Chains A and B, each alone.
Chain A
Amino acid sequence: MTIPRRHLFHIRPRRQDYDAIVVGSGMSGGWAAKELTELGANVLVLEAGPMIVPERDYAEHTLTSEMPYRGWNDRKAVAAEQPIQGQCYACDEVGRKFFVNDIENPYTTDPDKPFLWIRGRQVGGRSIMWARQCYRLSDLDFEANAREGYGVDWPIRYADLAPWYDHVEAFVGISGRAEGLPQVPDGVFLPPMEMSCVEEHVAGAIDSAFGGTRRMTIGRTAVLTRDHKGRRACHYCGPCHRGCRTRSYFSSLNATLPAAEATGRMTLRPNSVVAEVVWDPRAGRVSGVRVIDAETHEEMEFRARTVFLGASALETTRILLNSTSADFPDGLANSSGVLGKYLMDHTMDVGARATFPGWEDRTTRGRRPNGIYIARFRNVTEPSPDFLRGYGYQGSARRQGWGRGTSMPGFGEGFKSDLLRPGPWSFGIEGFGECLPREENHVALDPEQVDAWGIPTLRISCAWSDNERAMMRDAALQAAEMLEAGGGRDITIDTEMTPPGLTIHEMGTARMGRDPATSVLNAHNQAWDIPNLFIIDGASMASSGCQNPSLTYMAFAARASHYAVWAARRGEV
């Protein structure tokens, strides 16, 4: 992205208001910036972290010889500076610069309820390190709360969002295969990536063993399988989370922010920590945001006609909780009292692994930045008496590498030549499960702690419930049964759930709904209490589905942006 220097540094507040301020430059903020500027608005994008320059900062081809610890990470530095972030696989020796410093960005939890809050503060946000899987929600998800009496009913249905999924997918570029499955509706797809031999085989075996009720497909991923809108097709180097100089995977930095920049109507200000949204009680609207410069700690205020919060679910809610006034003593736009509540994440890391004899003269060629997906079948095609909702699986089958040698007997010439050849085929799958919206899973301001910029931090209280535990018990068992149906040997099961947060699908805390008394946002991601305030990230989610959520955030952000411009033209915002 070429951003003129005037856009990077020392942007000062000005007399003339912006049409919109977008807080956050990641997945959601990038979409708001693109849509709003393309619709003619002058937009200020505020990002808490520094500028990322792909040519300088991306490091996907860095060799381990250039890493002092050969890819094992600088674990003492991680322990000192990033004890939370370091638990994410992508916070590696090269990629850890894209994750926050935990000392500068503290938060607290209940002692018996660990929550891992994985964050990226830089232009591009976490869209730089995301895992790129893209699945649509369906009416199975949008109707679930109403059907089962959990949480509040979504104010929209799939038909409301489907055209916006189409809209964002056409720009993002998502490779995948149409399957006709109602629980994960087909989208606008680029050609799918190939399955490996063993994946193909197991997909067929599952289809026949379970009477067609379970479907394995290739993952739907925001990685280009052919050139697309000025971005190059993937070259299968592997570690997307370290950046991509050919822009082959979607991120705001690779795609939406350059599109916004191309309009000439975006001003991007990095190093801008938003401390609060400013409420104007006489106007009954918000007037802008108060910013602390991340480097100089100087405080300043920017004004705009409309404010969009896309700082990530919990950062957005934190900003609102910190924006108090006589009218909103418990946080801005919180007349309902539900702000901060109904926090969700997805369960993960529970599943099974097996080896597969055969296909010894075959291997995968290239490092596919994608895996397989087994669509949710629980409470879709197969009921479960033990839990509500369901889970999907992600995983991959490929030949083992040299790392297998650390747990193999042997040494010497034969050992070496064995490890220089591909090992057995190994297939691991793990379940990603839906988390119910529960009031007790919540965030609030910590009464004592502040971050490096003096801003009060969050106290996060979140734990899995019996429903998630029952679901993951089943996910482990069904994973083993499916691998066994495919002929897998030496099946092992992972039963240990990771703490909430680590899936990095944290969402909720400023949910959409149909009733201002029980929700923060209406059907357009607009605050019930404040017409010119929109929340466009995962905070808005009323339920979690089991699908990776970024695609849905993108669709919501685009939809809300168009609505806001339309409403402004009618004088309603």
Chain B
Amino acid sequence: MKRRTAIGVLGGVAGGPLLVPLDEVGRMLVWRERVLGSAGPPGTEGTGGGTGNGDGAISQAASLLTPERAQVMEALAEIIIPETDTPGASQAGVTEFVAALVDGWLDDDDRDRFLAGLDTVDPACRERFGSRFVECAPGEQAVFVRGLDQELTRLREDLAADESQHFFHDVKRFTLTAFFTSDVGLDALGYRTTFRTFEGCAPLTPREAGR
């Protein structure tokens, strides 16, 4: 969080003093962590499409994303990116993507924290609403997700905290990536692979303008 803290301090840059000492050359591990660790590599968003059906390379039977966890994940994802006039996250294959991350991408610590977070969802819902998350009423589910999102917002605004440690941060970024890199997500974005020319100041399409 060192980097974000520095940015926070410098947030009101206008005219103010900027006496932030540059670090000694970034330590390799710090840099590596930044690039490889917690976020996808830069420049990858919106660069492709997905079938949303997974690629069959992941053994579902062996997955640490058990059917129970997958059910919770899929339900959370569908609430974050619901089906509207375009498909939602569950049709984009979010659970296959998350299973791939859990089984072959996340470091053990991050994986365990994420799974432990998912595992708190049903007990919390039972206590609060008397049933598992997927069996809660839509209104109850929304209330529950709003609570998680608000926890994330609080952590984000607290410069001493790290919202990326909260499992719902992972739920959200996994959901967004699964959806927007899938075929259905790219269709919804109006994604095109090639262009006759580059325009620096083009009018929005009706779709981009939300009309």
Contact = CB atoms under 8 A, between A and B. Distances in A.
A83 B177 CA distance: 24
A473 B22 CA distance: 7
B13 A493 contact: yes
Interface stretch (B25-33, B67-75, B117-125): B25-33
Contact of A64 (B26, B43, B47): B47
A70 B105 CA distance: 12
A76 B153 CA distance: 30
Interface residues of B, number: 83
B7 interface: yes
Contacts of B142: 412
Interface string A38-67: 000000000000000000000001111111
A476 B178 CA distance: 35
A65 B193 CA distance: 14
Contact of A411 (B35, B43, B58, B80): B80
Nearest to B81: A416
A237 B55 CA distance: 24
A369 to B, nearest CB: 9
B115 interface: no
A64 B178 CA distance: 10
Main secondary structure of the interface of B (DSSP, over half): loop
Nearest to B14: A484
A194 B51 contact: no
A401 B180 CA distance: 10
Contacts of A93: 44
B136 interface: no
A65 B28 CA distance: 32
A160 to B, nearest CB: 35
A420 B204 CA distance: 12
Interface string A83-103: 100110100110000000000
Contacts of A64: 44, 47-50, 181-182
Given A73-B41, A463-B25, A193 B198 contact: yes
Contact of B31 (A69, A72, A87, A417): A87
A495 B23 contact: yes
A497 B23 contact: yes
Contacts of B84: 413, 416-417
B47 A69 contact: no
Nearest to A109: B28
Contacts of B80: 411-412, 415-416
A361 interface: yes
A409 B169 CA distance: 10
A366 B20 contact: no
B11 interface: yes
Contacts of A422: 204, 208
A387 interface: no
A388 interface: no
B145 interface: yes
Contacts of A113: 25
A72 B41 contact: yes
Interface stretch (A195-203, A322-330, A515-523): A195-203
Nearest to B43: A89
B139 interface: no
A507 to B, nearest CB: 18
A447 B27 CA distance: 25
Contacts of A118: none
A152 interface: no
Interface in B177-211: 177-178, 180-183, 188-189, 193-204, 207-210
A365 B204 CA distance: 9
B18 interface: yes
A341 B18 CA distance: 35
Interface in A489-521: 490-500, 502
B132 interface: no
A-B residue pairs, 3 tightest by C-beta:
A64-B48, A65-B50, A194-B200
27 contacts: A61-B194, A63-B50, A64-B50, A64-B181, A65-B181, A68-B104, A71-B47, A71-B181, A194-B199, A194-B200, A237-B193, A237-B194, A362-B203, A364-B198, A412-B79, A412-B80, A413-B84, A416-B81, A420-B86, A472-B22, A476-B18, A484-B14, A491-B11, A493-B10, A496-B22, A496-B26, A499-B28
Interface of B: 3, 6-7, 10-11, 13-14, 18, 20, 22-23, 25-28, 31-32, 35-36, 40-52, 55, 57-58, 79-82, 84, 86, 88, 97, 100-101, 104-105, 142, 145-146, 149-150, 152-153, 156, 169, 172-173, 176-178, 180-183, 188-189, 193-204, 207-210
Interface of A: 61-76, 78-79, 83, 86-87, 89, 92-93, 113-114, 116, 193-197, 199-200, 234-239, 350, 352, 359, 361-368, 401-403, 405-407, 409-413, 415-417, 419-422, 463-464, 469, 472-473, 476-477, 480, 484, 490-500, 502
